[in-house]
Chain A
Amino acid sequence: MFEIVKREEMAGGTVILNEIAAPLIARKAKPGQFVIIKANEEGERIPLTMADTDPDKGTITIIYMVVGKSTALFKTLNVGDGYQDVIGPLGKATHLEKQGTVVCVGGGTGIAVLHPITRALKEIGNRVIGIIGARNRDLLILEDKMRSASNELHVCTDDGSYGRPGFVTEALKEILEKEDVRQVVAIGPVPMMKFVSGITAEYNVPTLVSLNPIMVDGTGMCGGCRVTVGGETRFACVDGPEFDGHKVDYDELMKRLQAYSEDERRCYNDFCRMEQ
């Protein structure tokens, strides 16, 4: 069992942080990598990108939004409880390079994945501009951490309840207009990554995105996570999860994420009914 040593609720209980004892993974994990996690015997295997690791303490941190049965089940786990299986670190680590000014754009729980990459990019000497966004003030996570991980941080809310009103893409456009940006890293919902990539393509700025397709094993043996990048099929779990944002077929990815939507809804509804 992989014990939960710390648990926090964010964004009004819709987003949960778990720090999990997993010394072998903590020792090896690098920014951009993920774990596959399974709560119990009947559970499914869910991929989650690590938000942090502490090799000395032997722990990893995951931050997830409650969107269905499995994440709702994860939410019921308290400190001292644990996950039956945690597998990782999986996927390729982010390619980090000192380039000058880089912009890190995060949306929703994507901010949790973006944070360690942002921190690392700053540590190796880049000037990092962070842009984070959420639907409203209550759903915004990790603002303080992102602030200390970047040289400059812009906060956006769709409804204008906090920070700058509007989407992250608008803030990004302004920065691209006035700064010499060498790279953009965008992590969040697929439509957000698609729009960011559309904009950066216009400015010809290399863009890295982290994809979140459906996965089963996470080790390259099933191809459930396949995505089209530059016209070629790639497996996100071993070739990614990060890819050149200008080459990803986002529409295909969005459709493939709906493959089990009916089953997922049914499972979630059953679980919520049982919990009541």
Chain B
Amino acid sequence: MSEKKARKETVSRQAMPEQAPEIRRRNFAEVPTGYTAETAVIEAGRCLQCKKPSCVEGCPVNVDIPGFIARIAEGDFKGAIRNLWTRNSLPAVCGRVCPQEIQCEGQCVLNKKGAPVAIGNLERFAADWARENNTGELPPRKASTGKKIAVVGSGPSGLTVAGDLIVKGHEVTVMEAFHKPGGVLVYGIPEFRLPKAIVAHEVDFLERLGVHVACNMVVGRTVTVDELFQEGYDAVYVGVGAGLPRFMNIPGENLIGILSANEYLTRANLMKAYKFPEVDTPIPMGKNVVVLGAGNVAMDAARTAMRLGADSVKIVYRRSRDEMPARTAEIHHAEEEGIEFFLLTNPVQYLGNDQGRLTGMECLKMELGEPDDSGRRRPVPISGSNFEMACDLVIVAVGSGANPLLTQSTEDMTLNRWGYIAADPETGKTTKRGVWAGGDIVTGAATVILAMGAGRKAADSIHEYLTWGW
């Protein structure tokens, strides 16, 4: 026993190989290249197999982390993926985009002395292994209940609900407004962080389980929630996200060359405009690019602009480095790729030429004052610090709000004062009978895994309702 323990402590966390920054900054291929079977087994061997694993509590969908890792350590990769699928229908996605440092890995006991087990990398490995060595095997499905559920939105929460309810024997239709399913996984997160083929594969997995995916369905326009009930659906889950871009409402914002991050990333990712003119959707090719904001979306937009050949890409943020909401790893990746940070800086107006094209930005320097409602120190402008910054493309990534398309057309559903749907945090039940909601349309823009956690709770509650009543 003591010998075994000693050995574990000498093995250090296995690094994930990555494309070198000077190469990857100009291509759209995935940055980390993944574990080999050998490194995965070594890394899995570091897990202490705690009796009361705190890592599981750190996971919003409570994956049986020691269980799947034990299988990897034994070389039973098929067993590992089977175990993962019982709790998580999107392991290849979560392994890549979850902020593990504040979730499962943040809770790992090894964190106290050294580096935590690379749970995300291992989850990714198991999912990638299953995809590459396609066994065609599916999780078992309960006998049909004859109940029909409509899932509105095919983002992370909707896909989780669909995956959970299909194995419980219900009939599930996922409705997506775009022409491809995946929500933010296809239009928002870039190819170099999450290859679209992987998202397509995860959706394909759900379809093989029996989930029906209907694209080009704009619920609120093509069909309303009330009409879904008339058409015979027994329950509706609303997971439409927070897809309403925020702008800053400063002069000159409608000049050509100022795009919301949603538009920029949708063109680049969903429409694959980085391949223009091989595909038909164009995207502005900025030479001097400024991204406003410092969240993960801002990092994605900045790194995309760099890959599209910009001479310079700047992140302009009104607070300081400590307040940047993006993951540390993303900020680090962006810096390695040559993205510059202009902190404590805020634009006050855009400047343009007579063709209505952007030529620059007037900014103010800021300093930090007292903490605000969010607990972060409020940025205060330094008067007279105005200066100009030349730029030909600005991507506005200062957050998003609730898109009212669905909620405006749905009666008896209570919204909060920001337009998000009021839903019970424990069950996802809305004030409208038979309707659940979860993910960003309830919480405002958050993370993929939190949306999935909300989907899991709602799926359990929907199942209970379909079995026992409201």
Contacts and interface: CB of A to CB of B under 8 A. Distances in A.
B256 A259 contact: yes
A42 B280 contact: yes
B218 A43 contact: no
Contacts of A90: 218, 221
B254 interface: yes
What 9 pairs across the A-B complex have the smallest Cβ distances? A255-B356, A222-B263, A221-B243, A263-B282, A44-B280, A44-B281, A85-B179, A259-B256, A42-B279
6 contacts: A219-B405, A222-B263, A233-B247, A259-B256, A260-B284, A263-B276
Given A25-B222, A38-B179, A256-B256, A238 B405 contact: yes
A233 B256 contact: no
Given A69-B280, A217-B177, 9 more contacts: A24-B222, A87-B179, A88-B218, A88-B222, A220-B403, A223-B245, A252-B254, A255-B356, A270-B277
Interface of A: 24-25, 28, 38, 42-45, 69-70, 73, 84-90, 216-217, 219-224, 226-228, 233, 238, 252, 255-256, 258-260, 263-264, 266-267, 270
Contact of B254 (A85, A216, A219, A228): A228
A222 B267 CA distance: 10
Contacts of A38: 179
Interface in B269-298: 271-272, 276-282, 284
Interface in B203-260: 215-218, 221-223, 243-245, 247, 249, 253-254, 256-257, 259-260
Contacts of B218: 87-88, 90, 219
Contacts, number: 117
Given A28-B221, A263-B276, A263-B282, A220 B355 contact: no
B254 A217 contact: no
Nearest to B177: A219
Contacts of B257: 259
A233 B405 contact: no
Contacts of A222: 245, 259-260, 262-263, 266
B256 A255 contact: yes
B247 A89 contact: no
Contacts of A219: 177, 218, 221, 243, 403, 405
Contacts of B178: 217
Contact of B247 (A223, A252, A267): A223
A52 to B, nearest CB: 18
A139 to B, nearest CB: 26
Given A44-B280, A45-B281, A89 B222 contact: yes
Contacts of A264: 282
A150 B276 CA distance: 45
Contacts of A260: 282, 284
Contact of B244 (A28, A73, A85, A220): A220
Given A221-B244, A223-B247, A216 B403 contact: no
Given A43-B280, A45-B281, A216 B266 contact: yes
Interface residues of B, number: 40
B271 A233 contact: no
B277 A256 contact: no
Contacts of B356: 252, 255-256, 258
B260 A267 contact: no
Contacts of A88: 218, 221-222
A24 B221 CA distance: 10
A85 B56 CA distance: 42
A253 to B, nearest CB: 9
Contact of B277 (A217, A221, A238, A267): A267
A221 B262 contact: yes
B277 A255 contact: no
Contacts of A238: 404-405
Given A28-B223, A43-B280, A216 B271 contact: yes
B271 A263 contact: no
A217 B266 contact: yes
Contacts of A258: 256, 355-356
Contacts of A226: 247, 254
A85 B216 contact: yes
A89 B262 CA distance: 22
A87 B216 contact: yes
Contact of B245 (A28, A89, A221, A266): A221
Nearest to B224: A28
A252 B178 CA distance: 28
A228 B262 CA distance: 20
A28 B267 CA distance: 28
A45 to B, nearest CB: 7
A227 B253 CA distance: 11
Contacts of B244: 220-221
A70 B280 contact: yes
Contacts of A223: 245, 247, 259-260, 262-263
A94 to B, nearest CB: 15
B293 to A, nearest CB: 15
A86 B280 contact: no
Contacts of A217: 177-178, 266
A38 B278 CA distance: 15
Contacts of B243: 219-221
A205 B403 CA distance: 34
A216 B243 CA distance: 13
A84 B249 contact: no
Given A85-B215, A219-B177, A42 B278 contact: yes
Nearest to B242: A221
Nearest to B280: A44
A2 to B, nearest CB: 9
A233 B254 contact: yes
